[in-house]
Amino acid sequence: QVQLVESGGGLVQAGASLRLSCVVSGRPLSRYAMAWFRQAPGKEREFVAGISWSGGDTYYADSVKGRFTISRDNAKNSVYLQMNSLKAEDTAVYYCAAAASAAIMRGTGGVDYWGKGTLVTVSS
């Protein structure tokens, strides 16, 4: 059974930074392409960033490009999302996702496993 556990969310002011972490257990992280999604109140879940198995390829939603950075450490079975210059519109529950398919890196295709999410609140 594969489990994804996110951490690092919290309440910050606009302009601040946060680093989210996702620890994967049950199978080696290297088997999966990974992504971060988010869901704001009253809105659909949306793709934020994706990363390939090796970490060599990354993709970002236009809304976070230049501010967020996704990375992974397969030895630690962990994926990270560094979020800088946070805005009020970044407020959402952030979910870690894993898939054997590369499509997840661009936010398309099916997700094999989801975490339960971590809440990020940005006050303006």
Query: What secondary structure, in 3-state letters, does the chain show?
Result: CCEEEEECCEEEECCCCEEEEEEEECCCHHHCEEEEEEECCCCCCEEEEEECCCCCCEEECCCCCCCEEEEEEHHHCEEEEEECCCCHHHCEEEEEEEECCHHHHHCCCCCCEECCCEEEEEEC
Q: 84-111: b or e for each residue (b if 16 or more CB lie within 10 Å)?
A: eebeeebbbbbbbbbbeeeebbebeeeb
Scanning the structure block, which residue is given the tokens 């994967």? Answer: 24
Residues 37-73: tens digit of each pLDDT: 999 999 999 999 999 999 999 999 999 999 999 999 9
Q: Return the pLDDT at 123.
A: 97
Residue 2 has pLDDT above 90, yes or no: yes
Report whether pLDDT(19) > 90: yes
| CA pair distance 60, 65, nearest whole angstrom | 6
Closest CA to 5 of 92, 120, 121, 113: 113
Q: How confident is the model at residue 9 (pLDDT cuts 50, 70, 90)?
A: very high
Question: Could you report the per-residue pLDDT of 95-117, keeping only the tens digit for each?
Answer: 999 999 989 999 887 899 999 99
